[in-house]
Structure 1
Amino acid sequence: MDPSSDLGEVILVGGGPGDPDLLTVGGRRALREADVVLYDRLAPLASLAETRPDAVLVDVGKIPRGSQTPQSDINALLIEHARAGRRVVRFKGGDPFVFGRGSEEWLACAEAGVPVRVIPGVSSAIAGPELAGIPLTHRGLTQNFSVVSGHVGPNHPASTVNWDALARSSGTIVILMGVAHLAEICAGLVERGLDAHTPAAVVAKAALPDQLVLYSTVGSLPSLAEQAGIEPPALTVIGAVVGLRLTST
């Protein structure tokens, strides 16, 4: 930031999957130095204790099928506070550039002439399975993994994912934001050639004290998840590696 400028700055901080211990050193420093923090429910909220007593904390969360803070309002708040000379942290879960609106926030700030930078977070797509003892690759089982947004299913006109290729990839599939469409996603993969007996698991509330892991197959996982009342945040892992069922220590 130019010390001669009256502008503040915006820092997009990835908070990881939810455990404050997984927040980066840079992210913790940014929280401690922030004048304003805009946070959502997926960030490790306990880390807000790192902020100064005089810092302004603003909840801009989005609850699925519930109350929503429009992205345009979030962008406007970031710009407004930075233009007032404040150091603003946008505190998010996971990583700002992985299925988040971080890039939109960056562009909004840049277009408004507001200095902006990113402190990457630990991606939930990788950390969640690992915390459940599920490796995403394993020599001899699979050498690749794909991370997919499940906010729309395979049959939705807004879907741009090549589900046919995923079903035939022989790799691990990680689905984020797919709780509401899990049945459609799993059925769509089977219809496109994936064996219905392929191991699959849901990891709910990864890194939190009440983390829950459900093991099944891609054919039966949706009904099991529904019976268990799984709600976001949760991710799904599909592939042979799920069958390893490693245990964390």
Structure 2
Amino acid sequence: MEINVPGIVYLVGAGPGDPELLTLKALRLIKSCDALVHDALVSPQIIKETNKKTEIFNVGKRAGLCSVPQADTNLLIVKLAKEGKNVVRLKGGDPFVFSRGGEEVSFLEKNGISVEIVPGITSGIAAPSNFGIPLTHREAGSSITFVTGHEDINKDKKTVNWRLLAKSSDGLVIYMGMRNIGFIVKELLIGGLDENTKCAVIQEATLNNQKCLISELKNLAETISNKGFSSPSIIVIGSIVGFKVNNYINNLSDAFFPEKK
């Protein structure tokens, strides 16, 4: 009598975009897995590292576009594992940073599936570092807050108190904040953050088409609109932006800094 032994699911962080920022462990698992279930922002170059027999499933979500419901993704991963397959669930950045990795792990464990977590470099760290912006600096920042800007502005009860964040952290790194940037800036100003605070917006971080703009807080929403920046972008707000490593930045293409043109 044949007994089906469930496979294992590896929840793997793909990093911020550049395939060379993938960890060695992540690459080994991608090359050897039976099934790969990946997000929309994972580089095609990384997906090509799978072997010829690997089943590949795209379950990515993009704002404003049709996407696979999270419940369907959960069921798919469980189904593949129960078929005895070793599954790589490949997520952009780190699987536990502004991701639904925690939800997926809970669902898998409830269904008796073993899970192993493989961390990845989150874009909130990679994006500013790639443009020479230190997230902490002895003269500018002893604290940094990572926060989502994706909350609906009409939501009755918001979990992000932007007015409080204006004074409670030396720097802010905002994920998924582009659609609500006008509201976010308004709330930060009401909270007492100086209107001249330096800000950086970094689009498509670590990829060949990456670009960055620098602005003061009071002009941030207008500058983003005028320069045509869009998602996926990371927004960095705080005096740490003013401590960017200029010699490093000057070695990058001016195309990364549209405000200079």
> What is the CA distance between 1:34 and its match in structure 2?
0.8
Amino acid corresponding to residue 236 of structure 2 in structure 1? V
Partner of 2:30: 31
Distance 1:226 1:188 in 2: 19
Q: Given the alignment of the two structures, is residue 18 of structure 1 paired with residue 33 of structure 2, yes or no?
A: no
Equivalent residue for 1:244?
243
Tell me, in whole angstroms, the C-alpha distance in 2 between the residues paired with 1:36 and 1:59.
11
Matches within 5 A, 1:100-115: 100-115=99-114
CA distance in 1, matches of 2:224, 2:143: 25
Asked if the contact 2:4–2:82 (Cα under 8 Å) also holds between the matched residues in 1, the reply is no
* Aligned-pair CA distance for 1:150: 0.7
Q: Residue type of the partner of 1:68? A: S
Is the 1:153–1:185 contact (alpha carbons within 8 Å) kept by the matching residues of 2?
Answer: no
Using the size of structure 2 for normalisation, the TM-score is 0.90
Deviation, 1:123, is: 1.2
1:164 CA drift (Å)? 2.7
1:5 Cα deviation (Å)? 6.5
Q: Which residue of the partner structure matches residue 122 of structure 1?
A: 121
Cα-to-partner distance string for 1:98-146 (whole Å, 9 max, x where unaligned):
0100001101100011111110101111111101111111111111100
CA-atom RMSD in angstroms: 1.5
Q: For the residues of structure 2 that align with 1:142 and 1:69, how far apart are their CA atoms?
A: 40
Q: Deviations over 1:196-228 (max 9, x none)?
A: 110001000000001010100111111111122
Letter in 1 for 2:206: A
Query: Which residue identity lines up with residue 9 of structure 1 in the other structure?
Result: I
Per the TM alignment, residue 44 of structure 1 is displaced from its structure 2 partner at its CA by 2.7
Contact 1:37/1:89, CA 8 A, preserved across alignment: yes
TM-score of the pair, normalised by structure 1: 0.94
Q: How many residues align?
A: 246
Name the SS for the 1:13 alignment partner.
strand
Is the 1:153–1:184 contact (alpha carbons within 8 Å) kept by the matching residues of 2?
no
- Is the Cα contact below 8 Å between 1:17 and 1:44 reproduced in 2? no
Report % sequence identity: 39
Q: Residue 229 of structure 1 aligns with which residue?
A: 228
The whole-number CA distance in structure 2 between the counterparts of 1:162 and 1:81 is 40
1:9 counterpart = 2:31: no
Distance between the aligned counterparts of 2:151 and 2:228, measured in 1? 20
Residue 131 of structure 2 corresponds to 132
| Structure 1 segments of 4+ aligned residues over 3 angstroms from their partners | 153-156
CA contact (8 A) 2:163 2:189 kept: no
C-alpha distance in structure 2 between counterparts of 1:154 and 1:195, whole Å: 22
Equivalent-residue separation in structure 2 for 1:242 and 1:229 (angstroms): 21
Offset at residue 162 of structure 1 (A):
2.9
User: Contact conserved, 1:152 with 1:158, CA < 8 A, in 2?
Assistant: no
Q: Which amino acid aligns with 1:24?
A: T
Instruction: Give the whole-Å Cα distance in 2 for the aligned partners of 1:164 and 1:219.
Output: 15
Query: Which amino acid in the other structure matches residue 172 of structure 1?
Result: G
Answer yes or no: is the 8 Å Cα contact 1:200–1:242 preserved in 2. Answer: yes
Counterpart in 1 of 2:168?
Answer: 169
CA contact (8 A) 1:145 1:172 kept: yes
User: Is 1:43 paired with 2:42?
Assistant: yes
User: In the alignment, is the contact (CA less than 8 A) between 2:9 and 2:86 conserved in 1?
Assistant: yes
Deviates more, 1:74-83 or 1:224-233: 224-233
- What CA distance in whole angstroms lies between the structure 2 residues aligned with 1:202 and 1:153? 21
**Which secondary structure state, in structure 2, belongs to the residue aligned with residue 230 of structure 1?**
coil
SS of equivalent residue, structure 1 residue 141 = coil
Alignment of 1:45-64 (within 5 A): 45-64=44-63
Q: Which position in structure 1 is the counterpart of 2:259?
A: none
